[in-house]
Amino acid sequence: MVSLVLLLLLIGIIGTLGHFGSLGHSPHLFAGLIAVVLVLLSAGSALLIDTRQPWARRIHVATNVVLFFGFIWVSLTGWSVVQKYLP
């Protein structure tokens, strides 16, 4: 999940820079960055659950609940920028 989300971030940034020469054309940039931060938080806290940090499990579960809505958000905003490229 971490590598997939980083790959999409890279494709999004490189593709948009190559096409427009700049970033930030829509809320999709913000939604994408939020999704990546949440995934890193989720994976990072998951690694700490075994070390019996009491807050790690709470952070893992909380970031995953927010991630659910984050993925919906990045998909909807991504879908709306796709419309620009359709004939």
Which parts of 36-75 interact with ligand HEM (CB under 6 A)? 36, 39, 42-43, 46, 49, 57, 60-61, 64, 67, 74-75
User: What is each CA distance from 32 to 18, 29, 48, 79, in whole angstroms?
Assistant: 18, 5, 25, 12
- Single-letter residue type at 87: P
Report the nearest approach of ligand HEM to the CB of residue 11 (Å).
Answer: 7
CB 25 within 8 A of CB 81: yes
CB 41 within 8 A of CB 52: no
Interface positions with ligand HEM (CB under 6 A):
1, 5, 8-9, 12-13, 16, 23-26, 28-29, 32, 35-36, 39, 42-43, 46, 49, 57, 60-61, 64, 67, 74-75, 78-79, 81-82, 84
